[in-house]
Amino acid sequence: MTVFDDGIALETTADGSMRGRTVPEWANMVGPFGGITAAVLVHAVERQPDVHGLPLAVTVNYLAPIVDGEFDIRARAVRTNRTNQHWIVELSQGGETRTTATAVFGIRRDTWTDTEYPRPQVPSPTELPESDGGPTWMRNYDMRYVAGGLPDPDDGPAASSETLLWVRDNPLRPVDFPSLAAVCDIFYPRVFLRRAQLTPAGTVSITVYFHAAPADLAAQGAEYLLARARGQQFAAGHFDQTAQIWGAGGALLATSHQIVYFKG
């Protein structure tokens, strides 16, 4: 068991729901790291006895901060057909809904395959220093920035919001679908980089698309992932952010899109 496994651990209760608990190692500025919340919701569906296929997509909506302590998760399959299965998932504390999600699982078939977004050519992770600093949860990752590291106010505003980095779990842990969901949210808010200052910000909703097949995950093991994120439009207190996650062998394992609020 690693700290990641602790963060997504669930037990089935008498009424058929699942119960988890926050882990201090995943603390963020307010509540737990959003990526670990997305991961536990994916894991909750994986645990269902009637789950059909593998994760294809998950959309997580952060309604209210999760407070330290136990939480309950209910997952319900709303439609299953020959190829896909659609789920509604709800995380609550004290009877109050804190997070909702929809998830699509499906059967993967052998078809024509192509990737229009190849992995960038970058230095190897061993050529780059390990990043330090940031919220508590960042200590659970070995992050090595190629570009767009944590901003220094002395650097001034940046013309681009792009961040590119190598990342893997700390301690080492083989990549699976819950950990891929978490990695899609490891990027600090893009507005920090553009403005070179910390401002209140937080993810409102994130969608993760899983492209990895089981063979891709087996080949990846616990090796570094290459992760890239970039904002697209900053306006009216919100911005959107897109991200790609490549495996060590160059396969595109996951992509994501999220909407983030910010002040200032």
CATH architecture of structural domain 3-108+122-262 = Beta Barrel (2.40)
Compute how many other C-beta atoms are within 10 angstroms of the C-beta atom of residue 202.
16
Residue 177 CA: distances (Å) to CA of 46, 95, 120, 246, 250: 9, 28, 23, 14, 17
3-state SS record for 242-262: EEEEECCCCCEEEEEEEEEEE
What does the pLDDT profile of the chain (264 residues) look like in tens digits?
899 999 999 999 999 899 999 999 999 988 999 999 999 999 999 999 999 999 999 999 999 999 999 999 999 999 999 999 999 999 999 999 999 999 999 999 999 999 998 999 999 999 999 998 889 999 999 999 999 998 887 888 999 999 999 999 999 999 999 999 999 999 999 999 999 888 899 999 999 999 999 999 999 999 999 999 999 999 999 999 999 999 989 999 999 999 999 998
Which amino acid would we find at residue 250? G
Q: Tell me the pLDDT tens digit for each residue of 150-168.
A: 888 788 899 999 999 999 9
| 62 vs 67: CA distance, rounded Å | 13
- Do residues 34 and 182 lie in contact, with contact meaning Cβ atoms separated by under 8 Å? no
- Do residues 142 and 171 lie in contact, with contact meaning Cβ atoms separated by under 8 Å? no
| 36 vs 14: CA distance, rounded Å | 25
Q: What DSSP character marks residue 209?
A: E
Residue by residue, DSSP assigns 144-202 as EEEE--S--GGG---S---EEEEEEESS-----HHHHHHHTT-SPPHHHHHHTS---EE
Q: Tell me the pLDDT tens digit for each residue of 18-66.
A: 999 999 999 998 899 999 999 999 999 999 999 999 999 999 999 999 9
